[in-house]
Amino acid sequence: MTIAVLVDHTDGSVRSTSLELLTAARGLGQEVHAVWIGDDPQTGVVAAHGADVLHRVTVTGADEQLTTSVVDGVQTVLTAVGDVSLLLVASTFEGKEVAARLAVRTGAGVVTGARAVELTDGRWSARKTVLAGSWDTTCAVTGPLAVVALSPHAVQAAPLAVAAEARVVEHSVQASAAARAVTVVSRSPRPRSDRPALAEAEVVVVGGRGVEGDFSAVEELADVLGAAVGATRVATDEGWIGHEAQVGQTGVTVSPRLYVGAGVSGAVHHKGGMAASEVVVAINNDPDAPIFEFADYGIVGDLGEVLPALTAQLRARREQA
């Protein structure tokens, strides 16, 4: 059985989530085929993280960045290889859409938000948490093709000690009618920030109702930690920060190694978007806030005092190091 990995890339650089996918794939003991849609593949980087074969796909007749075009390219590789039993994608908005569209086309079984993948009795199964992190489940795919969307940071990306060269296979595919039906007339790039992307960040600092509209202390702490800034639904609905920063069941799902919640109550819809965090630190002036029930570390205090003090201590330690 063969494993395929969809490699996400931005401006020619492989995204960190894809390096994690390749690391996870090579640990499963099967041949790994990487799928690169577009030009200028980073063959060396992909091979260094475990790919045996790199498939570079050129989609003609439509914009290659469209989700439908990506699905066209991936399906072409799956057909060409023939014995792919597992396709790994990142559990991001884009990755989950690709997984869903592929399932419609191929009849594959899909699991999103997975934390681990394993082969048991000839079937691929994925472990994930559900119901706002209250249950750990194992989902087995009964069909011949499993498409698993792996959560960011489920695996630590690591290159091989000695990397072999990956064989490169070129593909050219005519875009499907669905892809050709869309015309991209313009693009507006997202404003660039020195902070990491929220869904992929290893550290996330989230502000809630308790910040009372002032995210400056949250942002200062995030900058010291090299973290992304997130928010609860209340904070985004009030207009204190953009909706793209919302963490929760109706926002971005995060799975960082460290989550810091400042003035966050810990309502169930927010917990559902961050329950996979490895370490949770809660700062709230209400000792009965629900977030303290599942936090690893809790600080009961005024945000206006705790956050600046914490930031100052971390900055001083960094300067001494």
What separation, in Å, do the N-terminal and C-terminal C-alpha atoms of the chain show? 48
**Total Cβ atoms within 10 A of residue 36:** 26
pLDDT at 194 over 90: no
C-alpha–C-alpha distance, residues 102 and 35, integer Å: 14
Average pLDDT of span 271-290 = 94
Res 129: pLDDT? 86
Structurally, at CATH architecture level, domain 198-320 sits in 3-Layer(aba) Sandwich (3.40)
Res 131: pLDDT? 78
pLDDT at 314 over 90: yes
Residues β-bridged to residue 299: 283
Instruction: Write down the CATH number for the domain with range 2-180.
Output: 3.40.50.620
Res 155: pLDDT? 92
C-alpha–C-alpha distance, residues 193 and 214, integer Å: 19
Whether 2-180 and 198-320 share one fold: the answer is yes
C-alpha–C-alpha distance, residues 272 and 235, integer Å: 17
For residue range 7-25, what is the model confidence (pLDDT) as tens digits?
Answer: 999 888 999 999 999 999 9
Indicate the angle between helix axes 67-81 and 93-106, nearest 10 degrees: 50
Residue 228 contacts residue 283 (beta carbons within 8 Å): no
Provide Rg for the chain, Cα atoms.
21
Tokens of 182: 């869309």
Phi then psi for residue 147, to 5 deg, are: -110, 115
Tokens of 11: 């401006």
Res 192: pLDDT? 65
For residue range 88-137, what is the model confidence (pLDDT) as tens digits?
Answer: 999 988 999 999 999 999 999 999 999 999 998 889 999 998 877 778 99
Q: What is the average pLDDT score of the chain?
A: 93
49: nearest Cα among 198, 215, 161: 161
Residue 207 contacts residue 99 (beta carbons within 8 Å): no
pLDDT at 321 over 90: no
Tokens of 191: 């404003």
Task: Report the phi/psi class of residue 283: left, alpha or beta, with left for phi > 0 and alpha for psi in -120 to 50.
Answer: beta
DSSP character string of 255-316: --SEEEEES----HHHHTTTTT-SEEEEEES-TT-GGGGT-SEEEES-HHHHHHHHHHHHHH
Residue 60 contacts residue 172 (beta carbons within 8 Å): yes
Res 191: pLDDT? 66
Residue 55 contacts residue 35 (beta carbons within 8 Å): yes
Range of weakest confidence among 70-74, 208-212, 273-277: 273-277
Domain ranges of the chain: 2-180, 198-320
